[in-house]
Amino acid sequence: MELEEIAVYAVVAIICLAVVGLYIRKQSRETSITKAKIIKAKEEGLFEPVSLHPVIDHNCIKSGACIAACPEHDVLGIVNGRATTINASQCIGHGACFHACPTQAITLCIGTATRGVDLPHINQNFESNVPGIFIAGELGGMGLIRNAVEQGKQAAENLTKTIAKNHGATYDLVIVGAGPAGISAALTAKKNDLKAIVLEQDTLGGTVFTFPRAKIVMTSPMDLPLYGKVKLFQTSKSDLLDLWKKVLAENNIEIKEKSKVESVVSENGYFKINTLSGEEFTSKTVLLSIGRQGTPRKLNVPGEQSEKVAYRLLEPENIEGKDILVVGGGDSAIESALLLAENNKVTLSYRNDVFSRLKPMNSTKINKAIANGSIDVKLNSNLLSIDKEDITLSVGKDVENIKIKNDLVYIFAGGELPTQFLEKIGIKITKKFGEAILKH
């Protein structure tokens, strides 16, 4: 072999070794960074998933496609050449990672081996253990918009086959919840000439519009009944709402907002559905397409129905220069108050004399905010009334009533979980420990 050839091979070998070395160093650096983020996430109580989340198997080739596709911050990272979860509790289950993975290494699961998640029992037709009551969407574990739409459509198609003529009820179908699954089911019912109505406890759109993001990500088109393919790969919540309003109006779909269902009772071969406002509906079948987060618990104080009152914080970056009251002492209240305090004057009202059971990082941050005066914390206080330009609090053990100038009120008093509502209807609940909801 010529010396020149040997020299060329030597140079190539050196370059290859250098590339491999750089790759190993880069991988080691990525692993160290991700491990540090995981340690921090565990300290802050963000590591364990609370709902639908990705689980990565041995087919992962570290392409990074899932990390690039995820619109949330630091939900996924790379450790030793394989993707893993970091801040899993921040995953909102839109499934961008699932669709982006080139090797189908991601499964979307509900619950973990140590933390179970309650889900209602349904069969392959989306019918619950109570004949005639069907479930689709987030309540059944499917928070992805596209898949919730598909479930709503399939559930409505399946229940159509069970409805006999002359059943004696006013409606063929009552849909509870006007989120993606409920809207899709209503359109499918219309296509199948069913007499249906949608009852929504809040407003059209359901829990989609509680997402703490301006944009909603859909990695592939959704097939909306009576409309066709919707190719909005990234859209705003308001644009998606406008689309739904347009389709529903064109098809004369009846949506009753502010109609919270209190009871569903089987009687005389059909169901009686009663709302908190005292209305009663009868229907041969019922489709539950409500959220999993439950109804925000209200304080029932004068003025709480005001438009300036909210129970979830959306788009805090767009709120500035306001006098804001945050009510509550849990992590949601603390985190919201800290976010709002960056550009606003914030008062935090908590009924107890100390904060308890906070994530360690939240405890540290709120104590720092109290010390530097960035948040005015009123312990042992209760909200008494909400007026147009101010609020009234009772403060201290000696109970002193004070008025505070106010533009916005955020109440974090927990939620009325749907579990009791479901059990009252007779639907069986099963706890899922890491069970796959969506897999290739």
State the pairing for strand pair 390-395/280-288. unpaired
290 & 425 share domain:
yes
Mean pLDDT of 343-362: 89
411 & 424 share domain:
no
192 & 101 share domain:
no
227 & 322 share domain:
no
Per-residue pLDDT tens for 29-74? Answer: 878 888 888 888 777 667 777 677 889 998 998 888 998 888 767 8
The answer to the question of residue 304 being in a domain is: no
The H or E element that residue 230 is part of is strand 228-230
Per-residue pLDDT tens for 253-303? Answer: 989 998 999 999 999 899 999 999 999 999 999 999 987 766 678 899 999
- Answer with the one of 115, 150, 182 that is the final residue of a domain: 115
Report the mean per-residue pLDDT for the chain: 85
| Burial of residue 100 (number of CB atoms within 10 Å: 0-12, 13-18, 19+) | middle
Residue scoring higher pLDDT (127 or 110): 127
163 & 249 share domain:
yes
Domain of residue 395, residue span: 309-416
Long-range contacts of 383-387 (CB under 8 A, 24+ apart): 383/299, 383/301, 383/325, 383/327, 383/349, 383/409, 383/411, 384/301, 384/302, 385/301, 385/302, 385/303, 386/301, 386/302, 386/303, 386/304, 386/306, 386/308, 386/309, 387/303
364 & 382 share domain:
yes
For 431, half-sphere exposure in the C-beta direction (CA atoms, 13 angstrom radius) is: 6
The answer to the question of residue 285 being in a domain is: yes
Residue scoring higher pLDDT (208 or 137): 137
Residue scoring higher pLDDT (238 or 366): 366
What residues contact residue 336 under an 8 Å CB cut-off, 6+ apart?
Answer: 313, 316, 326, 410, 412
Name the nearest CA neighbour of 93 among 153, 137, 133, 152.
137
pLDDT given for residue 431 in this prediction? 80
Q: Which residue has tokens 């619109």?
A: 71
Name the nearest CA neighbour of 43 among 359, 358, 357, 332.
359
Residue 274: give its domain's CATH number: 3.50.50.60
Query: Which segment of 167-176, 232-241, 278-287, 398-407 scores lowest on mean pLDDT?
Result: 232-241
Domain total for the chain? 3
The answer to the question of residue 302 being in a domain is: no
Residue 83: give its domain's CATH number: 3.30.70.20
Quick check: 112 and 105 in contact, CB under 8 A? Answer: no
pLDDT given for residue 212 in this prediction? 46
Distance of CA 97 to the CA centre of its chain: 16
| Burial of residue 264 (number of CB atoms within 10 Å: 0-12, 13-18, 19+) | buried
At 15, the pLDDT band (50, 70, 90 cuts) reads confident
The answer to the question of residue 438 being in a domain is: no
269 & 281 share domain:
yes
Ranges of H-type helices in 163-270: 180-191, 237-250
Quick check: 386 and 303 in contact, CB under 8 A? Answer: yes
